[in-house]
Amino acid sequence: MALSLPTHCSPTVAPLRRSPKPTLRRVNRRVCVASGGSPLLQVNDLRAKIVESNVEILHGVNLTVNQGEVHAIMGKNGSGKSTFAKVLVGHPDYEVTGGSVVFKGEDLLEMEPEERSLAGLFMSFQSPVEIPGVSNDEFLVMAYNARRKKLGLPELGPLECFSYLMEKLELVNMKPDFLNRNVNEGFSGGERKRNEILQLAVLGADLAILDEIDSGLDVDALRDVANAVHRILTPEKSLLMITHYRRILDLLNPTHVHVMDKGKIARTGDLSIVEAIEADGYETVSALT
């Protein structure tokens, strides 16, 4: 379940064009960066530990996401990808022990998790949770209207909400009866993932973090999800996705691909990194710094 009430949730959001693909230029040995829009997220030497055990998982992550960019993080199991994403949204299991994160010019680490959502950060979790007793439409309407309130907009009435939600359901190719079911209760793995994208479509975000949104999706569902993400993205919005698989990368065409290793970004480049990973494995690719 996405714990978020992100910033841009307007029913008038135009259907979306992807930003023009930035020009990739090689800045030094084996490192490519794209020239994108203005900085949206700037992570500098981020360190974080598990609160319960005091074990440090992130050992100095550096990453900049500019407006309109699509970033992918890959890496071995247990390298810290999900921890990084959860630290960004303020998950209580983790404590930041060093470094800084600036989001839209503000100190993200000073914000409560809900404030991060309201500031325009959205995360879909690897294993979306159920919310027993709360129907999907109740949840979405409540979250969406809370966001509108924050923006100084009038809350939508039931009829307006219904047509707005129907429009978003269509975007994600979900049946309307999903709205009446409790959030994720009894949903298949793939339905949960689609539901995450429905939440993103309804709530909007300046930066959407999708943690393994492709895992467990059949080919049709994967295409639907990728199409929906394409429509949700605008030249101003950015995406940070965590994945193990090339297929979603081919569909979403990231501007940057990062390899995380032992709690750090070990390598950054373009899609050619994926070929290197497939040919030589993570150990070799991570070592090529």
Q: Which of 82, 136, 238, 255 binds ligand ATP (CB under 6 A)?
A: 82
Q: Does residue number 57 form part of the binding site for ligand ATP (CB under 6 A)?
A: yes
Q: Does residue number 54 form part of the binding site for ligand ATP (CB under 6 A)?
A: no
Helix (H, G, I), strand (E, B) or coil at 178: helix
Place of tokens 């919310």: 131
* In contact, 58 and 47? CB cutoff 8 Å: yes
Q: Does residue number 81 form part of the binding site for ligand ATP (CB under 6 A)?
A: yes
Q: Does residue number 79 form part of the binding site for ligand ATP (CB under 6 A)?
A: yes
Q: Which of 7, 83, 234, 268 binds ligand ATP (CB under 6 A)?
A: 83
Q: What's the CA gap between 160 and 82, in Å, rounded?
A: 36
Angle at 90 between CA 144 and CA 94, to 5 degrees: 150
CB of 196 to ligand ATP, least distance (A): 16
Residue span binding ligand ATP (CB under 6 A) among the ranges 80-88, 148-156, 191-199, 270-278 = 80-88
Q: Does residue number 142 form part of the binding site for ligand ATP (CB under 6 A)?
A: no
CB of 120 to ligand ATP, least distance (A): 23
H or E, element range at 102 = strand 94-103
Residue span binding ligand ATP (CB under 6 A) among the ranges 23-31, 81-89, 218-226, 275-283 = 81-89
**Residue type for 32, please?**
C
CB of 74 to ligand ATP, least distance (A): 9
Summarize the chain as % helix, strand, coil (round to 5): 35, 30, 35
Q: Does residue number 77 form part of the binding site for ligand ATP (CB under 6 A)?
A: yes
CB of 263 to ligand ATP, least distance (A): 8
Q: Does residue number 75 form part of the binding site for ligand ATP (CB under 6 A)?
A: yes
| Adjacent-strand bridge partners of 98 | 47
Q: Does residue number 238 form part of the binding site for ligand ATP (CB under 6 A)?
A: no
Q: Which of 6, 68, 80, 120 binds ligand ATP (CB under 6 A)?
A: 80
Q: What's the CA gap between 258 and 269, in Å, rounded?
A: 6
* In contact, 256 and 268? CB cutoff 8 Å: yes
Name the burial class of residue 17, with classes exposed (0-12), middle (13-18) and buried (19+) by CB atoms within 10 angstroms of its CB: exposed
* In contact, 123 and 209? CB cutoff 8 Å: yes
Site for ligand ATP, rule CB under 6 A = 50, 57, 75, 77-83, 93
